[in-house]
Amino acid sequence: MPPQSIKKTWDIKSPSGWRRIATYVASRLHDGDILAISGPLGAGKTTFVQALAKELGAKRMPKSPTFAMLRAYDIARGRLLHVDAYRIEDERDLLPLDLEDELLEPGSMLAIEWPEHIPRWLEQRRHSRLAIRLLPQGRRAIFQHA
């Protein structure tokens, strides 16, 4: 029988809330894992990736990779790959990024913003999800671990 997925929800009312979530998520990510991060513009996707990178031991803090599509950050146990799929119109645009090979490297993990732009690519791979929702009093983050 396949393992049950883990689902956890947080309400975020201050910037320190991202740190708590990043600590939890980082403790559940392993080599080769993919984390799909969804939410509307301004929800905090890149802010979360920054908190996650810091929790994983990155010395250089992530910026939104919107114009570069892929950025990589050295972390304590390997590399955190950060993809922004917002501008992807065809999933074949991912091919030059060699994500499959990158994820085979020891300690590599992948965080993808705007995963809804690459649904077929994600469907073929085991991945966890973090959905961020805007609320009148802050944000809600829902993590589902594969």
Establish if 4 belongs to a structural domain. Answer: no
Q: Identify whether 105 is part of a domain.
A: yes
Specify the pTM. 0.90
At 90-124, the pLDDT tens digits run: 888 888 888 988 998 999 999 999 999 999 999 99
Residue 125 is assigned to a structural domain of this protein: yes
| Residue 117 within a domain | yes
**Total domain count for the chain?**
1
Inter-CA distances, 69 with 6, 40, 121, 138, Å = 29, 18, 15, 28
Q: Kindly report the CATH number assigned to the domain that includes residue 104.
A: 3.40.50.300
pLDDT single digits (tens) 26-81: 999 999 999 999 999 999 999 999 999 999 999 887 766 566 788 999 999 999 99
Q: Which domain holds residue 66?
A: 12-88+98-145
Nearest of 120, 23, 35, 127 to residue 81 by alpha carbon: 35
Domain contains 137:
yes
> How far is residue 13's CA from residue 36's CA, in Å, rounded to a whole number?
22
For residue 6, is it within any domain? no
Is residue 7 assigned to a domain? no
- What does the angle CA 101 – CA 104 – CA 107 come to, to the nearest 5 degrees? 130
In a domain, 24, yes or no: yes
Please say if the pLDDT value at position 11 is more than 90.
yes
